């Protein structure tokens, strides 16, 4: 089982990412594409726990009715430098109020993790070449922030100033 970062720890990944061709194992927790979820919704839902992979060009608020009851949404960074999923995560958390897992997949690198976390991602599948322990440390590189975003457990400068 591959490993990922969730809840400030490295853990075994209990979900399996499937492409559209692979048969769905009956007992696993699987992540499928949105297209497959739409096409096979009835059969998939009966058999397993389903998470859905959403393209980074998708309009999150339009999709929301289809996503709201899912335990997991995977947002993709197809290549580093393409930051659309940062906005998607915030929309999902802040505009839609999604409570399930938002997982970062694709070109997920150590140096981008803390920003992802602040935007609402809470699980990260770093690229194969990334050192997971180092990734954990990277989640705490800054212990202060100017702006609040989806997740506001970091001390926020404007709040500290207002309290002073």
Partner 1 sequence: MYRYDEYDQKLVDERVAQFRDQTRRFLAGQLGEDEFRALRLRNGLYIQRFAPMLRIAIPYGLLSAAQMRMLAHIARKYDKGYGHFTTRQNIQFNWPKLPEVPDLLADLATVQMHAIQTSGNCIRNITADHLAGVANDELVDPRPYCELTRQWSSFHPEFNWLPRKFKFAFSASLNDRAATRVHDIGVHLVKNDAGELGYTIYVGGGLGRMPMLGHKIREFLPEVDLFSYLEAILRIYNLQGRRDNIHRARIKVLVKALGPEKFIELVEAEWAQIKDSYLKLLPQDIERMKGRFDVPAYVDETAADDGSYTAKLAADSKFAAWAKRNLRAHVRPGYAAVFVSLKANGVAPGDVTDAQMDALADLAEQYSFSELRATHDQNLVLADVARKDMYALWQRLSELGLATPNIGLLTDLICCPGLDFCSLANAGSIGVAQDIFDRFEDFDYQHDIGEIKLKMSGCMNGCGHHTVGHIGILGVDKSGEEWYQVTLGGSAENDAALGDRTGPSFSRADIAPAIEKIIQVYLEQRDGAEESFLHTYRRVGMGPFKARLYAKVSAETEVAA
**Bridge partners, residue 76, by sequence:** 105
Task: Tell me whether residue 8 or residue 147 sits nearer to partner 1 (CB atom).
Answer: 147
CB of 122 vs partner 1, minimal distance in Å: 14
CB of 110 vs partner 1, minimal distance in Å: 9
**Bridge partners, residue 145, by sequence:** 156
Task: Tell me whether residue 44 or residue 108 sits nearer to partner 1 (CB atom).
Answer: 108
Task: Tell me whether residue 50 or residue 150 sits nearer to partner 1 (CB atom).
Answer: 150
CB of 148 vs partner 1, minimal distance in Å: 5
CB of 24 vs partner 1, minimal distance in Å: 31
Q: Which secondary structure element, helix H or strand E, spans residue 103, and what is its range?
A: strand 101-106
Name the site residues for partner 1 (rule: CB under 8 A): 80-84, 86-88, 90, 94-95, 109, 111-112, 114-116, 118-119, 141-149, 157-158, 160-162
- Using DSSP's 3-state secondary structure scheme, residue 42 falls into helix
Residue with tokens 């002073």: 164
Task: Tell me whether residue 44 or residue 60 sits nearer to partner 1 (CB atom).
Answer: 60
H helices of 8-152, where?
A: 34-47, 60-67, 84-90, 113-118, 132-138
Phi, psi of 31 (to 5 degrees): -110, 125
């Amino acid at each position: 089982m591959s490993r990922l970062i969730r809840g400030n720890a490295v853990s075994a990944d209990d979900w399996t990412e499937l492409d559209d061709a692979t048969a769905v194992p009956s007992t696993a927790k699987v992540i499928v594409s949105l297209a497959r979820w739409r096409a096979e919704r009835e059969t998939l839902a009966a058999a397993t726990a389903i998470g859905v992979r959403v393209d980074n060009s998708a309009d999150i608020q339009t999709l929301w009715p289809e996503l709201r009851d899912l335990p997991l949404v995977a947002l993709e960074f197809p290549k580093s430098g393409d930051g659309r999923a940062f906005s998607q995560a915030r929309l999902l958390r802040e505009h839609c109020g999604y409570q399930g897992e938002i997982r970062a997949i694709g070109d997920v690198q150590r140096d981008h993790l803390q920003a992802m976390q602040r935007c609402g991602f809470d699980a990260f599948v770093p690229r194969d070449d990334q050192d997971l322990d180092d990734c954990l440390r990277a989640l705490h590189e800054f212990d202060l922030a100017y702006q609040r975003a989806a997740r506001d457990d970091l001390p926020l400068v404007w709040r500290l100033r207002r309290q002073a």
